[in-house]
Amino acid sequence: MHPASFMKSFSARAKKRLTWRVLVAAWLAFLPLLTLSLSATSASAAPLQLDPNMDKTWQRTDLYVAQGSQSRSWLWGPTAFSIKTEEYDGAPATANIPANQRLVAYYDKSRMEINNPYGDRNSKYFVTNGLLVKELISGWRAVGDNRFVPYLPAEIPVVGDRTRLYNLNAPTYASIASITSLTTDQNRADNRVGQQVTAYLDYYSTPKADLRFASYNVTIANYDNTFGHNIPKVFWDYMNSTGNVLENGRTVVAPVVDWVFSTGYPITDPYWTTAKVGGVTRDVLFQCFERRCFSYTPSNSAGFQVEMGNVGSHYFDWRYNTPQPDCLTLPVRGFGKLWSENPSVKARIGCPYAWSGEQGIKIASQHFEHGSMIWVNSNGGTDYYLPYEKNIIVLFDDGKWAVVKDTWTEGQPLNSGLTPPAGRYEPVRGFGNAWRNETALKLRERLGWAVEKETGGDGAIQNFGGGYMIWLGNSKEILVGYRYYDRTNHWEVYPDTFQG
């Protein structure tokens, strides 16, 4: 089969999956108008109030911080700066809140939520705080337990001053996607309990060791196996600290942070960075969990060296105040035309990585009975989506994709000598090795036999916060691979309409 026909078959399958994406994009475009209409309608309604259990949750830890009787940082923040309702599938109606809407309260450090106002008020999970960090990193907003709306990963600094243009070095939620575990099988780290934390990360590069930070003598105290990440002692001590808290109207000494409830599990390892804090450049250690991000600033006073990041205010700004991406660089040529003219693609793939422009590559492709393989030579560059020098992208007919390493080298047998049915082929070289040996992915069973011989050509690639684009020179089409946090990757193919 000619490569052009091969990619046309990609497009036919992709079009079926695009219909709902277009509808989502249209819905996103309509959302600001809808929000304005609802605001005007409800302007005369009585303002929403904190649920008593929300206030009780805040008072337990932060009342004493507000009073100045406890020298520790805020768990929530001084006050709820916004109390509102948000769409959430399955939430029951109350006297003043319609069905499928839930009461939320935004604080600097997090968001309180009540999903079921008729639930057990004695349960600590009557009031919850959402997986805001996962949403900020992935760009997918939860509007139900099992429904997500695509947006853009947040180009907001994880630590330090909020304004991106004055805090350029600090990593953003979008930029740390490449080192984050949004599922339990992504980016797991080795157990480094007892070792010093010297890994450094900024907005522009991948993590690297920097022995300058050894002077702070921060060591790893715990390894959490859920997502596979190390927790430094400064955060572990805070997560297990005790102090005066308010429970049932009485002051008691108890754990300050119920960390699984308040923070969730760690989804990154700890990293040092340099960030602007109040306009001053400081060394900061940060680590993100499912619900919160921690920071450790050695130059702060003792009670405030460890703090919760301002995830609540970051999320609120991302959701309500920043409808357009704040990208430092923009894609060009075919990638740029597709990105700028297709809101659905833009919303799901996010901003290009500032350090990773469009790169010319060599590619090869082969179509199978139930999918395809594309070989990409990334010229030694590594990144989250294509981590090897020689990558094989496997595209399955169900719209999912995976990446495996090309392990074939010159001198190895081209194939294993299998006899395929008439009109079919056994894949050779790297495709053949992956097809036969990647038993975890069951490539041979899932793909079937090849239906054409492998073909090669020129291509280009660019990495984005939410995936990658690859230009397929043979067929003048653009493969878009998305990385989601719902345990699946998805791909689509579009015609390259750029002229020039």
Convert the pLDDT of each residue in 108-139 to its tens digit.
Answer: 999 999 999 999 999 989 999 999 999 999 88
pLDDT band at 326 (very low <50, low <70, confident <90, very high): low
> What order do you get walking across the sheet with 455-464 strand by strand?
401-405, 390-396, 371-377, 359-368, 455-464, 467-472, 477-483, 489-495
**Range name among 72-76, 195-199, 267-271, 345-349 with the lowest pLDDT average:** 345-349
| Burial zone of 360 (CB within 10 Å; 0-12 exposed, 13-18 middle, 19+ buried) | exposed
Q: Which long-range contacts (CB under 8 A, 24 or more apart) does 468-471 make?
A: 468/385, 468/386, 469/331, 469/335, 469/338, 469/339, 469/349, 470/361, 470/363, 470/374, 470/376, 470/393, 471/334, 471/335, 471/496
Q: Tokens 């309409």 — which residue? A: 497
Cα-based angle 440, 446, 447 (whole degrees, multiple of 5): 120
- Integer Cα distance of 71 and 61 in angstroms: 11
Task: Give the pLDDT confidence score for residue 27 in this predicted structure.
Answer: 40
422-471 per-position pLDDT tens digit: 999 999 999 999 999 988 889 999 999 999 999 999 999 998 877 889 99
Task: Give the pLDDT confidence score for residue 322 in this predicted structure.
Answer: 58
What is the overall mean pLDDT for the chain?
Answer: 86
For residue 339, the Cα-to-chain-centroid distance in whole angstroms is: 19
- The 10 Å Cβ neighbour count of residue 282 is 17
- Integer Cα distance of 399 and 61 in angstroms: 47
Does 38 score more than 50 pLDDT? no
Give DSSP secondary structure letters for 100-147.
TEEEEEE-SS-EEEES-TTS-TTSTTSSEE--HHHHHHH-EEESSSS-
Instruction: Indicate yes or no: pTM above 0.85.
Output: no
